[in-house]
Chains A and B, each alone.
Chain A
Amino acid sequence: MEPTTAPAKPQFSEAAKAEIARICKQYPEERRKSALLPVLHIAQAEFGGWVSPEVQDLVAEVLGLAPIEVYEVSTFYTMFNLKPVGKHVLEICRTGPCMLRGSDELTAHLERITGAKVGGAPSEDGLFTLKEVECLAACGFAPIVQVREKYYEQLDTQEAVDAMLLELRNQVHRPALPWEENGLPNALANN
């Protein structure tokens, strides 16, 4: 039998570690669990847009929690992706006010041109995952798609949708976050 090697354990970058330390200070010492949601957001940004069981275990370790405390939270909140995703996750609002202004048509259009299916695997080129979400609190600018920290609004024309997709296709790496002052950590720029 071939000797098996365990897959490398995920590690936070130095920039992320510093950000986690800053966040933990916002809560009383004995209430570190409060940092769980913000740290899960950091983890998702660090490790390719989703939180694998290994990444969730790392979050538990960093915050001194039992792994189950992380799992029960990551499965409750809809923003955390529990399966691998494409490079860009398009979160399409499907709730009433967006539906009134054409979100059903937008979803069908995005499925056609990206080749991905809502709730399904990423597009074949690995670029796009489509996800339907509930109200994004931007109803006056419907229909809306969120990609990471950016809202694309009034996507009711072909031009607006094309402009969004072009912008995303041209992104070599995801945009750096404020705590990544010196750009993406090297390890991240590769994923």
Chain B
Amino acid sequence: MGRKLLTEHINVEGIETLEVYRKHGGYRSVEKAIKTMTPDEVVEEVKKSGLRGRGGAGFPTGMKWSFLAKPEGVPRYLVCNADESEPGTFKDRQLMSKLPHLLIEGMITSSYALGANTSYIYIRGELLYVLRILEKAIAEAYAAGYLGKNILGSGYDLDLYVHPGGGAYICGEETALLESLEGKRGNPRNKPPFPAVQGLYARPTVVNNVESIAAVPVIVNEGGEEYAKIGVGRSTGTKLISACGHLNKPGIYEIELGLPVEEFIYSDEYCGGIWKGRELKAVVAGGSSVPILPKELILKTAAGENRLMTYESLSDGGFVTGTMLGSGGFIAMDETTCIVRNTWNFSRFYHHESCGQCSPCREGTGWLEKVLHRLEYGHGRMEDIDLLVSVAKQIEGNTICPLGEAAAWPVAAAVRHFREEFEWHVTNAKDAVQPGAVFPGKAVLV
């Protein structure tokens, strides 16, 4: 049984109230940081913890914090990225709706570390009901003196606000998020300048994922070194995994990084195996944009080692035989799943969500969707399969933001590992278009 650093008390009755949250040790990190530590000491602990951005990119949080520009007399901001919308990912919604004070505590401690006096939680507009929960909890925190002027008599001031988006996946990209917070369309910005220098309102800004910020209290309470003892190598601490698709027990699991993938899928402590007694066919391990892997390659690396839930193990083999931990959106597909249909579905998503700023993405995602649609609906040609790979390659690396890569990778990986299934859609189009048609062959292992 792994340790639960974030979600230990998630099912305690009334934990969404400040009173019950405090009874279970809540807000200790605020007291400790503000009363006994300098801001730089807090940053130092986060660096020592080895915490890596939990939104998907996995960039070390402490390092991101240390890049923040601190010109005299210029306000700086901490913005929490709660625009969770990567298909397969639903951890932040659960965390915020059940443990709103954990995020608020993390925001206060982190804002203190960064010297921010105003901070925002940017939450996707669909989660307005979670915004209500957060605002209620924030009001409690103000009343208790954890927010507002002169927090705990320290002279440190902080205001915290929640801001809703309007329905746009792209606003999860940090510069698009800042544009959106400024009341504009969510078009990602060119970088540099990076947000650490010119972010919200052209002021120095740090943008962190909900789960990253929620990990700060435990790091401050127990110390960065203690936190870093959990996990394997450079994958320290615990991670929330959103398990979905054809599993017996989909849901949110907090795991210690390093858990074997096989145990995560099949053990009763976690997902309890594949539903309806079926076989596993493939897994998308880190949200829809990471490469899909067939069963054999998600359970073991190409070298035959057990695949672990860590940043390094999941990416072992690069994109040829590996994938990424990403956001921890773990989508399992059983043996009846049509890979072509699933890939088309994801491509439609990226086409729909492209902001339209860069032509390779705006046009390319459209072509991917169109070509996959005709393959799925029985009008495909054999050369379409290489066309998909070619279009994907031309999007990748040619766009302002990573939505281009996010759209290209899943398609390239699906063709890489399931090429025979794509070919079958051309050669056996009549069979393939039948509802519920299942490709009779196996995945190709590169």
Contacts and interface: CB of A to CB of B under 8 A. Distances in A.
A149 B97 CA distance: 13
A163 interface: no
Contacts of A72: 185
Listed residue (A38, A79, A80, A139) with the most chain B CB atoms within 10 angstroms of its CB = A139
Interface string B94-135: 000000000000000000000000000000111111001001
Contacts of B132: 149, 178
A91 B186 CA distance: 21
Nearest to B171: A77
Given A76-B186, A78-B167, A134-B349, A41 B246 contact: no
A37 interface: yes
A25 to B, nearest CB: 9
A150 B349 CA distance: 23
A109 to B, nearest CB: 15
A35 interface: yes
Given A33-B183, A100-B246, A77 B353 contact: no
Interface string A92-108: 00111101110000000
Nearest to B343: A96
Contacts of A34: 163, 181-183
B346 A96 contact: yes
Contact of B164 (A37, A69, A91): A37
A183 interface: no
B201 A96 contact: no
Nearest to A138: B90
Contacts of A141: 90, 250
B88 A97 contact: yes
A36 interface: yes
A96 B87 CA distance: 7
A66 interface: no
Interface string A30-73: 01011111101100000000000000000000000000010011
A96 B183 contact: no
Interface string B160-190: 0101111111000000000011111110000
Contact of B168 (A76, A99, A140): A76
A96 B129 contact: no
Contacts of A82: none
A139 B183 contact: no
B245 A79 contact: no
B352 interface: yes
B287 to A, nearest CB: 10
Given A34-B182, A99-B345, A137 B85 contact: yes
A99 B89 CA distance: 15
A158 to B, nearest CB: 19
Nearest to A77: B166
B86 interface: yes
Given A33-B183, A77-B167, A136-B126, A96 B161 contact: no
Contacts of B164: 37-38, 41
Interface band, chain B: 35 or more
Contact of A80 (B166, B185, B246, B251): B166
Given A96-B349, A139-B331, A79 B87 contact: no
Nearest to B253: A140
A94 B288 CA distance: 14
A78 to B, nearest CB: 4
A146 B93 CA distance: 14
B342 interface: yes
A94 B351 CA distance: 14
A135 interface: yes
Interface in A148-191: 149-151, 178
B124 A96 contact: no
A150 B169 CA distance: 20
A7 interface: no
A141 B245 CA distance: 9
B92 interface: yes
A132 B191 CA distance: 34
A140 B182 contact: no
Contact of B182 (A33, A96, A99, A134): A33
B68 to A, nearest CB: 19
Interface in B144-164: 159, 161, 163-164
B166 A140 contact: no
Nearest to B166: A77
Contact of A134 (B201, B329, B352): B352
Interface of B: 84-90, 92-93, 124-129, 132, 135-136, 159, 161, 163-169, 180-186, 201, 242-246, 250-252, 284, 288, 329, 331, 333, 337, 341-342, 345-346, 349, 352-353, 355
Interface of A: 26, 28, 31, 33-38, 40-41, 69, 72-73, 76-80, 91, 94-97, 99-101, 133-142, 146, 149-151, 178
Given A34-B163, A137-B124, 9 more contacts: A41-B166, A79-B167, A97-B244, A97-B245, A99-B341, A101-B244, A101-B246, A135-B85, A149-B129
Of all A-B residue pairs in the complex, the 4 with the closest CB atoms, nearest first, are A77-B166, A79-B167, A33-B183, A36-B183
5 contacts: A37-B183, A101-B246, A135-B349, A137-B93, A137-B124
